Structure 1
Amino acid sequence: MTQHSPALSPELCRERQLRLKKVLEQHSLDRAIITSRENIQYLTGVRTHRLMQAALCLELDGNCTLAAPNQIPEEAAVDECVTFAAQWHSTLRQEQLAVALKVLFEAVGSEAKHHVGLEATAGGNLMIRNLSGSNPNFTDLDADLWKLRRRKDTDELEMIRKAISCTEAMYAKAREIIQPGISELEVFNQLHAAAVIEAGEPLTALGNDYQCNSPGGAPRERIAADGELFILDLGPAYRGYYADNCRTIAVNRQPTDIQHQAWEAIVNVLNMVEETVKPGVSCRALFERAQQMLDEFQEDAFFHHLGHGFGLFPHEAPHLNPNWDDYFEEGDCFTAEPGLYTEALRAGIRLEQNYVVTDSGVERLTNFSLEMS
């Protein structure tokens, strides 16, 4: 049976290019030069291999040119595609970005352009400056691109839903295999396999937290013991688009009274999030309300963010965090991940749901069990 393999829509990629073109107009820029893998994928649908680089030029007139490694992609939302040799006789070249930019500027020209938008946090800016012609003016587009990426289009949501389906398969496998005596590494290996089978291909990422009797961390050789809780915070990425959700499983499937009380307190916070969030709601205020609720169980037992946006990067806006002053917007994909951590809980519980903000509230994207058993 052939699995459905979602991909970014060329038509919606073109719409995203038009949104960036409006940003160029607002900043009085002639062109944008894009080198980050995530933003190239977002704008063209092309995601290069993790060991290969590319470069993109979007002109104020809307013309889009891609410098791609080795060969022209089968499908790319661009007007022109030029190629460069990312490998010589099968050996990867370390200077790929410099070559990609050189080929790109040979295709689009450099001497007439003096107002260029760049990603300040991306590599290659010095090379771009040297290749862009004499005395060009540069503007940082990072904040604009991050803002554009907040509102997920339907093709992006399809990719995210596919990644979330991988987490559902992983949790089903976890409930099947977790028991006293299993090692964290064995759990990790079997969950990895379950996700790859669901995806039908290798994944971009797998998430960070696979430890038992711990708030989180990479898997160890450690053996899970009776009475402990196993926190699994899974973040598989399907073709660059992330999921990020967490479940906590009692190793013996018999949570104690205090563990169940903590679980109920966390579920109450998730219910509050679903009842409260809509466009315009303060993320900081939501965090503060969650902190108050969890402090009623035990002060200082909740010590991290309430959640964050996600998409082509694991942590994006909006930030459910007192260090930011964000507000929810329609189209945001975000996580809510309240947790409680004490010695009595062996060593804590975290539950995490994924949502997309609608015009009047939220749609929950993670519709599988939160139970510890």
Structure 2
Amino acid sequence: MRRKSHIQVSYPSNYQDVISAKSLGSGSNHMHARISKLVKRLMESDLDALVTSHLPNVRYLTGFSGSAGIVYISRDFVTFLTDGRYDSQSRRQLKNAGNSDISVFVGNSSEQMNEISRLSAGRERVAIESRNAVWAFALELQELIGPSVQLIPSTDLIEQIRRIKDAEEIEALTSAAHIADEALTATLGLLSSQPTERSFAQLLEAEMARLGSERPSFDTIVGAGPNSALPHAQPTERTIAKGDVVVIDFGATYRGYHSDMTRTFVVGQPTLRQSEIHESVIHAQRKAIESIVAGRRAEEVDAAARNYLADLNLANKFIHSVGHGVGLEIHETPILGSGNRLTLMMGEVVTAEPGLYLEGEFGIRIEDMIHVGSEPGCITQFGYDWIV
């Protein structure tokens, strides 16, 4: 039996009641709450409307999971725009998400642009997401709507709302994490049969798919021996051999939500040096997790792990930030790194993933998904025993 994670999930007392209510139509309540929060932010920012084509934001607001969609959100109505390929799918998904009151416009790109122009008539300030919109889109739209409507570049209006996960999102993230946990449990023993890095990654991804993952959260990382010292190692044809340290960083997706977990294993008995580094990373992660509470600054979480490793003269081997937000995207706000003074908020989900990398020898990283509350709660539940 593998040792479970050292921090257990800690949800609000009514969490199960909220989740159970999902079958009674809470999905519509969640969607309406998200749109209401966004409308409030529009008013606070003196904006009349916002145009988003960033697909994670589109899905967050509407439930649409296709590859082409735009949402036009004003203070008094919401319109979803797509092309003919997604006519039936979008109407079905919006209805299933409780968004039947959102208007659907179907047309080609030129027709969609004309519709956005029509919707903007009489408005003064319309925001376009500056990080996600193509500049040509903004120029074309400005030409259509004329000088009377000012296009305003916006940043993170929706992403800041997405930071706080509602019960439906926590359920999806927990399900994705459970799929990943079970997939690793089912495949881990194969490490001792000397697979290649690439073949093990493929087996792990296939097992996640069998268990219900829609797709891997990202390209699975499997790095063995010296390759484990590469933080984002790409699986190769290198055979995993006895004595190798193996870093496995992977995730599943469920209803569009991503899981993210890293575990490090050793095939056979570890050396004293390997064991010391592994224990150092375990303790550094505990320091980070203990700091993941509402009201704490993101940089303080990073510092908790980094300062612990500095006391061991190992901080120079920790070469990335300690974590990041996770949800509809694998990397979301906030980044838990040095210099980030954003304050953690109740309901966020972030990762804690310190690592130590000894170039040419081996590397060790441990990563879990943490639910931010008055106390931290670990969503990933795979244990920390590492000898295979």
TM-score by length of 1: 0.86
Per-residue CA deviation, residues 157-191 of structure 1 (Å, 9 max, x unaligned), is 12211221222133213412112631011101101
Separation in structure 1 between the aligned mates of residue 187 and residue 270 of structure 2, nearest angstrom: 16
Per-residue CA deviation, residues 142-166 of structure 1 (Å, 9 max, x unaligned), is 2222211110111111221122122
Separation in structure 1 between the aligned mates of residue 210 and residue 131 of structure 2, nearest angstrom: 35
| 1:100, distance to aligned residue in structure 2 (A) | 6.3
Aligned length: 348
Q: Which amino acid aligns with 2:326?
A: F
Residue in 2 that maps onto 1:115: 125
What is the aligned-residue RMSD (CA, Å)?
A: 2.4
The worse-fitting range, judged by mean Cα deviation, of 335-344 and 22-31 is 335-344
In the alignment, structure 1 residue 171 sits paired with structure 2 residue 184: yes
Per-residue CA deviation, residues 240-274 of structure 1 (Å, 9 max, x unaligned), is 3211110011123x222222222222221222233
In the alignment, structure 1 residue 45 sits paired with structure 2 residue 63: yes
Of the three residues 56, 69, 75, the one matched with 2:83 is: 69
Of the three residues 343, 364, 370, the one matched with 1:355 is: 370
1:171 partner SS:
helix
Of the three residues 278, 286, 292, the one matched with 2:307 is: 292
Of the three residues 148, 161, 174, the one matched with 2:174 is: 161
In the alignment, structure 1 residue 305 sits paired with structure 2 residue 321: yes
In the alignment, structure 1 residue 269 sits paired with structure 2 residue 279: no
Q: Which amino acid aligns with 2:223?
A: Q
| 1:66, distance to aligned residue in structure 2 (A) | 0.6
Residue in 2 that maps onto 1:22: 40
Of the three residues 343, 346, 349, the one matched with 1:330 is: 346
Separation in structure 1 between the aligned mates of residue 363 and residue 48 of structure 2, nearest angstrom: 53
Q: Report if aligned partners of 1:283, 1:326 keep a CA contact under 8 Å in 2.
A: yes
Q: Report if aligned partners of 1:66, 1:104 keep a CA contact under 8 Å in 2.
A: no
| 1:82, distance to aligned residue in structure 2 (A) | 1.8
Q: Which has the higher helix share?
A: 2
Of the three residues 7, 18, 31, the one matched with 1:13 is: 31
| 1:17, distance to aligned residue in structure 2 (A) | 0.4
In the alignment, structure 1 residue 101 sits paired with structure 2 residue 112: yes
Of the three residues 170, 178, 184, the one matched with 2:197 is: 184
Q: Report if aligned partners of 1:29, 1:116 keep a CA contact under 8 Å in 2.
A: yes
Residue in 2 that maps onto 1:89: none
Per-residue CA deviation, residues 319-360 of structure 1 (Å, 9 max, x unaligned), is 21114222211111100001112259x4111001111111x1
Separation in structure 1 between the aligned mates of residue 129 and residue 261 of structure 2, nearest angstrom: 29
Residue in 1 that maps onto 2:159: 146
Q: Which amino acid aligns with 2:62?
A: T
Residue in 1 that maps onto 2:6: none
Q: Report if aligned partners of 1:31, 1:116 keep a CA contact under 8 Å in 2.
A: yes
| 1:40, distance to aligned residue in structure 2 (A) | 0.7
Of the three residues 210, 220, 232, the one matched with 2:222 is: 210
| 1:208, distance to aligned residue in structure 2 (A) | 4.3
Structure 1's 59 and 260: CA in aligned 2 closer, same or farther, altered over 3 A? same
| 1:133, distance to aligned residue in structure 2 (A) | 4.1
Q: Which amino acid aligns with 2:279?
A: E
Q: Which amino acid aligns with 2:286?
A: N
Residue in 1 that maps onto 2:17: none
Name structure 2 gaps, 5 residues minimum.
Answer: 1-21
Q: Report if aligned partners of 1:30, 1:114 keep a CA contact under 8 Å in 2.
A: yes
Residue in 1 that maps onto 2:271: 256
Q: Which amino acid aligns with 1:82?
A: F
1:75 partner SS:
helix
Q: Report if aligned partners of 2:205, 2:216 keep a CA contact under 8 Å in 1.
A: no
2:120 partner SS:
coil
Structure 1's 212 and 99: CA in aligned 2 closer, same or farther, altered over 3 A? farther
Name structure 1 gaps, 5 residues minimum.
Answer: 86-97
Separation in structure 1 between the aligned mates of residue 106 and residue 114 of structure 2, nearest angstrom: 7
Separation in structure 1 between the aligned mates of residue 111 and residue 380 of structure 2, nearest angstrom: 40
Greater relative contact order, per chain length (Cα 8 Å cut-off, separation 6+): 2
Q: Which amino acid aligns with 2:142?
A: R
Per-residue CA deviation, residues 90-114 of structure 1 (Å, 9 max, x unaligned), is xxxxxxxx346336437x5333223
Residue in 2 that maps onto 1:81: 104
Q: Report if aligned partners of 1:208, 1:217 keep a CA contact under 8 Å in 2.
A: no
Structure 1's 131 and 230: CA in aligned 2 closer, same or farther, altered over 3 A? farther
Separation in structure 2 between the aligned mates of residue 10 and residue 291 of structure 1, nearest angstrom: 42
In the alignment, structure 1 residue 125 sits paired with structure 2 residue 135: no
Residue in 2 that maps onto 1:56: 71
TM-score by length of 2: 0.83
Q: Report if aligned partners of 1:235, 1:244 keep a CA contact under 8 Å in 2.
A: yes
Residue in 2 that maps onto 1:95: none
Residue in 2 that maps onto 1:90: none
1:194 partner SS:
helix
